[in-house]
């Protein structure tokens, strides 16, 4: 499919003539293209970290409330 697309394309349509030896001395084999890696902290995505922080907040809230009720600081 791509070979057909390449063969149908003509360089004269762009009006630019490329020399075939322009990149002859460049080593394409050793080049590594850096891709934008998703930023992860502790192997988690941003959504996973947000859910974990919400669960941690709720856990501290419930345990704190239970401790206040157990020590009779507040009465429900």
pLDDT tens for residues 23-44? 666 666 666 556 666 677 788 9
Full 3-state SS string of 36-56: CCCCCECCECHHHHHHHHHHH
Q: Which residue has the tokens 């919400």?
A: 54
Res. 49 pLDDT band, cuts 50 70 90: very high
Q: How confident is the model at residue 51, as a pLDDT? A: 97
Neighbours of 21 (CB within 10 A): 7
Does 3 or 59 have the greater pLDDT score?
Answer: 59
How close are the terminal C-alpha atoms of the chain, in Å?
A: 72
Query: Phi/psi of residue 44, each to 5°?
Result: -115, 150
| Overall pTM surpassing 0.75 (yes/no) | no
Rounded CA separation 32/51 (Å):
35
Residue 6 pLDDT exceeds 80: no
């Amino acid at each position: 499919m791509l070979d057909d697309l390449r063969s149908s394309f003509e360089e004269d349509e762009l009006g630019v003539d490329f020399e075939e030896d322009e990149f002859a001395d460049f080593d394409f084999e050793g080049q590594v293209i850096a891709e934008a890696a998703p930023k992860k902290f502790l192997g988690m995505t941003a959504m996973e970290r947000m859910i974990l922080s919400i669960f941690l907040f709720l856990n501290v809230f419930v345990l704190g409330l239970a401790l206040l009720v157990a020590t009779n600081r507040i009465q429900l």
